[in-house]
Amino acid sequence: MSSPAIQSSVIKDLKLAPEGHLKIDWVEAHMPVLSRVRQQFEQQQPFKGLKVAISLHLEAKTAYLAKVIQAGGAEVTVTGSNPLSTQDDVCAALVEDGITVFAKYDPEPEEYKELLLRTLETKPDLLIDDGGDLVTILHAERPELLKGIRGGAEETTTGILRLKSLEKEGALKFPMVAVNDAFCKYLFDNRYGTGQSVWDGINRTTNLVVAGKTVVVVGYGWCGKGVAMRAKGLGANVIVTEIDAIKAVEAYMDGFRVMPMEEAAKHGDFFVTVTGNRDVISGEHYDVMKDGAILSNAGHFDVEVNKPDLEARSQSFRTVRRNIEEYLLKDGRKIYLLAEGRLVNLAAGDGHPAEIMDMTFALQALSLKYVNDQYSNIGNQVVNVPYELDEQVARYKLESLGIEIDELSEEQKSYLNSWSPH
């Protein structure tokens, strides 16, 4: 007999489940911090009787998070957070495990939205969002479903910016925890996770050498720092572009050349945008690029590389390899765009390493419990992850690594807390 999850889910093919289970088993073995939270949830059942809707890049690590929330007693529904980052075999495995899934790889834009709406129509009590699609559609198009939502947790920088503008207008209707802004998120996930997985995505997609080439990193935030650091490690000459003077000085002190995009456009062999902003490569930048330049984006939305401007300068366009589009410009130069300008590490790779997402998703799970416990006290605002939870995740991580650290003595505590001269 087929389960309710099998009956209601919309996925590509349930028969892909065995491959998906193998992927989830592999990451579970490398996510000890989240497994600690799972044990806690199995005992405490913090989400008993509640419905949780999750919109995340649907691959194995996210799937394990969904299973941990389910282990905490919740009825879980998941959907994608980007049309190209959903893995169909993982979706099938989740459905077999009793989780309702509304997601498939590369749906048409209309269908992608429809799948988000189906997820919201399950009338969740709690949400996990990545990039703010669930929360913004809910507020803008389905206000009747807002009632009953206790709160949620947001994964990424771009989603938090959207939530903060909703909050500023006084329009946010429930509390959201800004998981991205926790130390154990951005210091590791944005920097080391994006740093490694972006190059994994670019390398496996292009199969070209990086050493000796010029890499232009657009944006020197937490993600950009990681991408630039790893490009340097691969032997590239790295150029950083920024609009923030402090970040620009930081990039300079870290040993990178800093210049405006107009200039950098002439030098780059590889470009990686990580700004969370739109049109950071556009118009006249294409006019001065080298023949064969390779463009990619790791920011949340596919708006960083301006595609209409590129198309307007092209006489033809074709797919030359999986996830590589070749634009033949009117003057005969060729420019390549990876993964249609969507997050290259997820759309053309497997996303961040499991050990990194271990910490991020432990924070997600604990933040969801926190918002469920405290939603009536928090009110309709965006709040940070409490420091105790951030620290708890770091301690679990150290324990999993077998690393011990020192503790303050009583004398040291009193020294640090005292204002009197010593």
The residue ranges that bind ligand NAD (CB under 6 A) are: 156-158, 186, 190, 194, 218-224, 241-244, 247, 274-277, 280, 298-300, 343, 345-346
| Burial grade of 170 (CB within 10 A; 0-12, 13-18, 19 or more) | exposed
Q: For the chain, give me the number of helices (H) and strands (E)?
A: 19, 15
Instruction: Give the nearer residue to ligand NAD in terms of CB position, either 36 or 307.
Output: 307
* 3-class DSSP assignment, residue 325: strand
Instruction: Give the nearer residue to ligand NAD in terms of CB position, either 113 or 247.
Output: 247
Minimum distance of ligand NAD from residue 198's CB (angstroms): 7
Minimum distance of ligand NAD from residue 67's CB (angstroms): 21
Instruction: Give the nearer residue to ligand NAD in terms of CB position, either 72 or 351.
Output: 351
Instruction: Give the nearer residue to ligand NAD in terms of CB position, either 17 or 58.
Output: 58
Minimum distance of ligand NAD from residue 184's CB (angstroms): 13
Instruction: Give the nearer residue to ligand NAD in terms of CB position, either 46 or 351.
Output: 351
Minimum distance of ligand NAD from residue 46's CB (angstroms): 26
CA distance 18 to 193: 27
Minimum distance of ligand NAD from residue 422's CB (angstroms): 38
Residue nearest ligand NAD, Cβ-based: 221
| C-alpha distances in Å from residue 29, one per residue of 22, 34, 36, 38, 355 | 11, 10, 12, 13, 10
Give the helix/strand (H/E) hosting 298.
none
- 91: Cβ–Cβ under 8 A, 6 or more apart, which residues? 9, 11, 12, 16, 20, 58, 78, 101, 103, 104
Minimum distance of ligand NAD from residue 276's CB (angstroms): 3
Instruction: Give the nearer residue to ligand NAD in terms of CB position, either 71 or 382.
Output: 382
Instruction: Give the nearer residue to ligand NAD in terms of CB position, either 244 or 291.
Output: 244
| C-alpha distances in Å from residue 402, one per residue of 2, 45, 314 | 44, 28, 55
Minimum distance of ligand NAD from residue 187's CB (angstroms): 11
CA distance 336 to 320: 9
Q: In 3D, which of 145, 188, 180, 189 has the Cα closest to residue 162?
A: 180
Classify strands 176-178 and 151-154 as parallel, antiparallel or unpaired.
parallel
Tokens read off for 63: 């799937």
Minimum distance of ligand NAD from residue 345's CB (angstroms): 5
| C-alpha distances in Å from residue 111, one per residue of 101, 115, 123, 223, 394 | 14, 6, 19, 30, 39
Tokens read off for 360: 């991020």
| Burial grade of 359 (CB within 10 A; 0-12, 13-18, 19 or more) | buried
Minimum distance of ligand NAD from residue 139's CB (angstroms): 19
Give the helix/strand (H/E) hosting 272.
strand 270-273
Instruction: Give the nearer residue to ligand NAD in terms of CB position, either 111 or 254.
Output: 254
Instruction: Give the nearer residue to ligand NAD in terms of CB position, either 146 or 258.
Output: 258
